[in-house]
Amino acid sequence: MPREAATKPAFAAPSRGPPSWVILPPRVRVSDITVDGKLTRAIVEQALLETYGRLRLCYEYAARHKPDLEGRMAVKLVVDSYGQVVEATPTGSNLPGTDLVTCVMQGFAYGRFELPALRPGGAAFAIEFSPPQVPDAAE
């Protein structure tokens, strides 16, 4: 057996992106976080990380009717001293329709922040939604 043949792989997968059976997740990204009162950015980031699954489900539900759904929404939350969200308000959105915004707001209405002490305050942030990104074959 020639030496070159031994170093070639027996199977080389085509480089056309993922196989058709792979389901890529949508992109849900939180940015522009601001806090006030006694809330810290770390507390808000942790609470948002815990709500990622809910945000993704809201997007996936809305995207069933519009697969190329993408956009951005701004949210303002007010949290009481027990960590309960007492007010969740959308402060802007370029998302078409209202299903996704409504779902996200309902999710935050039942949200809770794990606070190390009595730390009432507020937070504002933006959430960006976009369909799954298929990687280029060159990557």
Q: Give residue-wise pLDDT tens across range 15-38.
A: 565 555 556 778 888 899 999 988
Q: How far apart are CA 25 and CA 119, in angstroms?
A: 34
User: Taking each helix axis from N to C terminus, what angle separates 52-63 and 99-109, rounded to the nearest 10 degrees?
Assistant: 160
Burial of 108 (0-12, 13-18, 19+ CB in 10 A): buried
Can you list the domains of the chain with their CATH numbers? 26-130 (3.30.2420)
Which pLDDT belongs to residue 131? 87
Low-confidence ranges of the chain (pLDDT < 70): 1-23, 116-118, 134-139
* CA triple 66-72-74, angle to 5 deg: 135
pLDDT of residue 37: 87
Helix segments in the chain, DSSP class H: 3-7, 41-50, 52-63, 99-109
Please tell me the predicted confidence (pLDDT) of residue 72.
Answer: 93
Give the pLDDT score at 114: 75
Q: Which of 94, 103, 84, 83 is nearest to 126 (CA)?
A: 94
Are 122 and 54 contacting, i.e. CB atoms less than 8 angstroms apart?
no
pLDDT of residue 139: 46
β-partners of residue 75 are 90, 125
